[in-house]
Amino acid sequence: MEFIKLSLAICLVKVIFWLNRVFHVSLRKARLRRLYDVTSSFYEALYGFEQLRKFQAISSLGLFRDVKFNVTLDAGCGTGIIINYLRNRGSLTVGVDFSKGMLRKAKERFRNARDVDLILSDIEYLPFRPRAFDLVISLTVLQNCLRPLKTLKSLMRVLTNKGILVLSYLKKSQNMFFLEVMFRDLVLKNLDSTDNVLILNKLGGLKRQIKARCYGFTH
């Protein structure tokens, strides 16, 4: 009987801990979403040039040179700044963001575009089938995710076996330590002044851990 009581007490503690974590994650996401909703009207004036600079730095590696992708994904697309440049490199470009304000601006920009699809979604739980995209790009987003590893797995899940995942995150981010340890010298630290960059490719899918390799670029 005492053993049963102890087991029940342990289970109760675990449930309380899980509920507290879920509440904390949900609350923080809601605050971040509201922040982006509010700043969506002037986001490009503040960060538009910076985002383009990062994309151009990545492009300078030759990643997109003479390459046509079938379907591309901009995960955390914001107002659609980068989508403008991805459209020339694929038949269909999909933009995903969890901020209604940001997505509203993006929809205004591409209201007449037939090769752009915009979806309101959390990139931690992407609503796509596995191996749906040849190119997945996510600039300055991962450091805002409360569970970066879960988000990274979500992005890798929708990547085709021969697809490319391009990530950037703020150098000053404190929650990216796991990424630095996992990929070590694969992190491109000198490509951009504010962001570190990772260019990854699948190696046999995801099981217990993410299996990826650098696409072939060095510092």
DSSP string, 122-188: -GGG--S-TT-EEEEEEES-GGG-SSHHHHHHHHHHTEEEEEEEEEEEETT-STTHHHHHHHGGGSB
Q: Is 0.85 topped by the overall pTM?
A: no
Instruction: Give pLDDT tens digits for 34-84.
Output: 988 898 899 999 889 999 999 999 999 988 887 889 999 999 999 999 998
- Neighbouring residues of 189: CB distance < 8 A, sequence distance ≥ 6: 171, 196, 219
Q: Which two tokens stand for residue 112?
A: 């007449």
Instruction: Give pLDDT tens digits for 105-115.
Output: 999 999 999 99
Task: Name the pLDDT band for 95 (thresholds 50, 70, 90).
Answer: very high
Which CATH class name applies to 40-214? alpha beta
Strand partners, 72: 93, 135
Phi, psi of 111 (to 5 degrees): -60, -30
Instruction: Give pLDDT tens digits for 153-211.
Output: 999 999 998 899 999 999 988 888 877 888 887 889 999 999 999 999 876 433 334 44
The whole-number pLDDT of residue 1 equals 61
Phi, psi of 137 (to 5 degrees): -125, 140
